[in-house]
Amino acid sequence: MTTYEPAELARELGYTDEQRPGKVVRDYLRQKYPDHRKYERWVLDESQADDVRANVPRKR
């Protein structure tokens, strides 16, 4: 099973200059999954990664 981390998805979406890599993705995930424990690592499965790709806009 393939897993993804927010920084990896952020780079894929073009967010390569973030001061905190993956922040844009984590911000989206916090809205989508408000019950996720604070400070717990995000490890996403394929369907969650596809959701991020569909809902976090690519950086231009």
pLDDT above 70 as % of the chain: 100
Q: Given a cut of 90, is residue 18 above it in pLDDT?
A: no
Is this structure's pTM higher than 0.85?
yes
Distance CA(42)–CA(15), nearest Å, equals: 17
* Mean pLDDT along residues 7-27: 95
Q: Given a cut of 90, is residue 33 above it in pLDDT?
A: yes
* Mean pLDDT along residues 14-27: 94
Q: Given a cut of 90, is residue 60 above it in pLDDT?
A: no
Q: Are 21 and 10 in contact (CB under 8 A)?
A: yes
